[in-house]
Amino acid sequence: MSRNDYQRQLEQLREDVLEMSNIVCERLRRALEALERKDEQLAEEIITSDHEINDLYLELEQDCIDLLALQQPVAGDLRFIAASFKIITDLERIGDLAVNLGEYTKRAERDRYPDIDIAYIGGETVEMVEAAMAAYATDDAAATGEIAGADDEIDALCERASEVVVQDLLETEAGSQANLDDVSRMLLTVRDLERVGDHAVNIAARTLYMVENDDELIY
């Protein structure tokens, strides 16, 4: 294979990873919309279409394996392929978290915690993922630190939300199954949104390593 063909394969891999991220972020936004509107039909669409993300992940995984096995890349190209391989794993897991939100939507019957702005927290996590992917797209190492900093804010928002739920549990009659279901669903929702932020940081960490051979954010 000529050097030009090899470079085109690397460029195509980046484009495909970015396309996967667009699909995942759109799926996550729609899952948040379904949760906010209690739209069970939209939630079911998110759940049943998860196989599309899984199939895309497997295709890109094979592309990465082929490039590693057949081209034996070194230095920067090797880091790029390895980073791409790790990033698609994070994207696939974000897709799974969107499915979780769809499942929670189907169980949601009322707004027990109006003071917890799930839409805002969720929107911030999607923007983190988009920012991390933009850094990957442009080899922007400087942006990766900002994404890690944004995760601290997400963690704080999620911690406060969890405290609201726990405090409510302590102060009210929690014996009914409905109350316990509300508590469980909200805590799981907050946990999953926090995990989305963690995956965004993982993407930023792999980008920093890819661009500068710097593993500061990985550990």
Instruction: Give 47-69 pLDDT, tens digit per residue.
Output: 999 999 999 999 999 999 999 98
Q: Which domain range does residue 185 map to?
A: 3-212
CB atoms within 10 A of CB 202: 20
pLDDT of residue 74: 86
Q: What is the CATH number of the domain that holds 152?
A: 1.20.58.220
What's the CA gap between 103 and 31, in Å, rounded? 9
Mean pLDDT of the chain: 91
Mean pLDDT to the nearest integer, 181-209: 94
Task: Examine residue 219 and state whether it is found in any structural domain, yes or no.
Answer: no
Instruction: Give 96-123 pLDDT, tens digit per residue.
Output: 999 999 999 988 766 678 889 999 999 9
Task: Examine residue 217 and state whether it is found in any structural domain, yes or no.
Answer: no
Task: Examine residue 179 and state whether it is found in any structural domain, yes or no.
Answer: yes
Task: Examine residue 81 and state whether it is found in any structural domain, yes or no.
Answer: yes
pLDDT of residue 4: 76
165 to 114, 126, 176, 186, 196: CA distances (angstroms): 11, 23, 15, 8, 20
Instruction: Give 67-80 pLDDT, tens digit per residue.
Output: 998 888 888 999 99
Instruction: Give 157-184 pLDDT, tens digit per residue.
Output: 999 999 998 888 777 665 555 577 888 8
pLDDT of residue 110: 63
Q: What is the DSSP string of 102-119?
A: HHHHHH--S-S-TTS-HH
Continuous H helices in the chain: 3-37, 40-48, 50-71, 75-107, 118-138, 141-171, 177-212
Q: How many domains does the chain have?
A: 1
Exposure of 201 by Cβ count < 10 A (0-12 exposed, 13-18 middle, 19+ buried)? buried
Is the model's pLDDT at 219 over the cut of 70?
Answer: no
Q: Provide the whole-model pTM.
A: 0.93
What's the CA gap between 133 and 136, in Å, rounded? 5
